[in-house]
Amino acid sequence: MDSAAKRQQPEIQTPEENHPALNALLGANPFVGLDATQVLGTLGTLLTHIASQPVTVASRALQLTLELGQIIGGVSSVAPEAGDKRFGDPAWTEHPLYHRLMQAYLAWRAAMHDLVNEDESVEWKDVEQQKFALTLLTEALAPTNSFLLNPAALKRAFDTSGMSVVWGLRNFIGDLWSNGGMPSTVDKRPFEVGKNLALSPGAVVFRNPLCEVIQYAAATDKVYERPLLFIPPQINKFYIMDLAPGRSFVEYAVKHGIPMFTISWRNPTPRDRNWGLDEYVTACKDAIAAACEITGSPDCNVLGVCAGGITTSLMLGHLAASGDKRVNAVTLLVTMLDTSLPSMTGMFATEDAINAARERSAEKGVLDGNDMARIFAWLRPNDLVWNYWVNNYLLGNDPAPFDILYWNADSTNLPAKLHEGFLDLFLRNPLTHGGEVAVLGTPIDLRAVKNDIYLVAGMTDHICAWRACYRATRMFGGRIEFVLGSSGHIQSLVNPPGNFKARYYIGTRLPEDPDEWAKSAVENKGTWWDHWIKWVAARSGNERPAPKSLGSELYKAGEPAPGLYVHERH
């Protein structure tokens, strides 16, 4: 490959379901965060534990020594875990030196992780923090991350007459300059929001300082009476649900006659530091008012995703306390309302860490989206850091142009006050008990929410663990439909029909124990989209002729979709 070919505009790719970075994407980046001091403190705690267990350490060291002896002798069965793509080059299995190097690393790595204190008396957060800190160390020291120890990098340099080293250095300097020193996860050049992303036709029908509301044009002769409002997470842009034709949830809903509206949150700056939960719930109510007035419906259905699902739940509690009936049925996707169960989101949600995070965002005025993206990447170091370290720098390749990865890199800020509100929810876990948190002056009791609710969780979701999401089935007072998808956080959202690998599970009853639910749940082939569309259609009223224009006298159609706010970057 010559340098001219290297710089060609690459063809946009549709991500494979098992792509390592996609499996690691968490969607809502962590609210708490971490810093070097916290990681070093966790390693110190682990070292203290190790020092207090000399017999255990000696026993594990002996096991490692014996295993290394077998590796040297060529009789060891140590092999990478299923899904570990770092050692995919044939040299790792065919070349005796590389094979032994790989086995020695894996044996040492396993021995180190065996030293983590997993006693039942130790809180799960402490265990997970120790595992995480140790993972940062062991994955950084993988031989694949070194140019001289990586056979694929050496082959690439030989095949390109050394040009891959030049390209890798160029990529490294570029990331130092424009990506905060982190390896880029996506080639952004082919993408432009409104050109090949977020293409569903529509118009902005309402705008205030916090958000725009977009109404989408009908794609059928008849539509249902009741509109659907999408409430996206404040920490990501809304077009995850409107990526590209054939992979757009918005397109799918509109093609089935659903009058679709979405909120597009503004990207806040430090001057917007005082936007909090009250302001965002008010914005949701304003968006509902617009959707209902335009369609002539007295109420609407709503769909909240992740942090947007938390905001949706708070709004529902407020409406229930106010006797407000403007919401009919509700869909919550990958939304964790109970933070007591183990999850990557709650791993660092200790009082000290939360207070430190609160102070940082209060000082800056916002929780910076780029900072969160870097934290997020280190939570999955192999998939979101070292994978691209090898690809971009050691092999000299550009990252692939995937639309989901572009969306993930298109991060937004959180206002300091909203960040504080989310941190309080994570620390105190007040939504599990009525009346322990208030929004717009009303105490929130989710048991008073009597709406029909459709809950979706992802079986391999690393940040909103499905068992934690399942807890919501016990928190609301209405009829619940719980659906478990077979994939992770983002793949649970972008899950169009046609994926032969897709599965979802539905249970006829909702016991308190999620594992008991799973035992009796029935597997269904395909996407939950097809199941959901029937559920929401049954709650969308009668059909009527589709409107010939967007907006109304009160809410006039303005800027074409995807609007203005989605383009803001700070």
**Which residues are known catalytic residues?**
306
Which helix (H) or strand (E) segment is 331 a member of? strand 327-333
**CA-CA-CA-CA torsion sign (397, 109, 40, 427):** positive
* Alpha helical stretches, state H, 236-344: 249-255, 277-295, 307-322
DSSP string, 159-200: HTTTHHHHHHHHHHHHHHHHSTTSPP-S--TT--BTTTBS--
User: ∠ at Cα 475 (471, 338), nearest 5°?
Assistant: 45
SS (H, E, C) 444-491: CCHHHCCCCEEEEEECCCCCCCHHHHHHHHHCCCCCEEEEEECCCCCC
Closest CA to 199 of 490, 564, 562: 562
Give the integer Cα–Cα distance in Å for 32 and 29.
9
Evaluate the omega torsion of the peptide bond into residue 183 and state whether it is cis, within 30 degrees of 0: no
Instruction: Name 374's Cβ contacts closer than 8 Å, sequence gap at least 6.
Output: 180, 182
Q: Which of 224, 257, 215 is nearest to 550 (CA)?
A: 215
Q: What are the phi and psi torsion angles at 130 (to 5°)? A: -65, -45
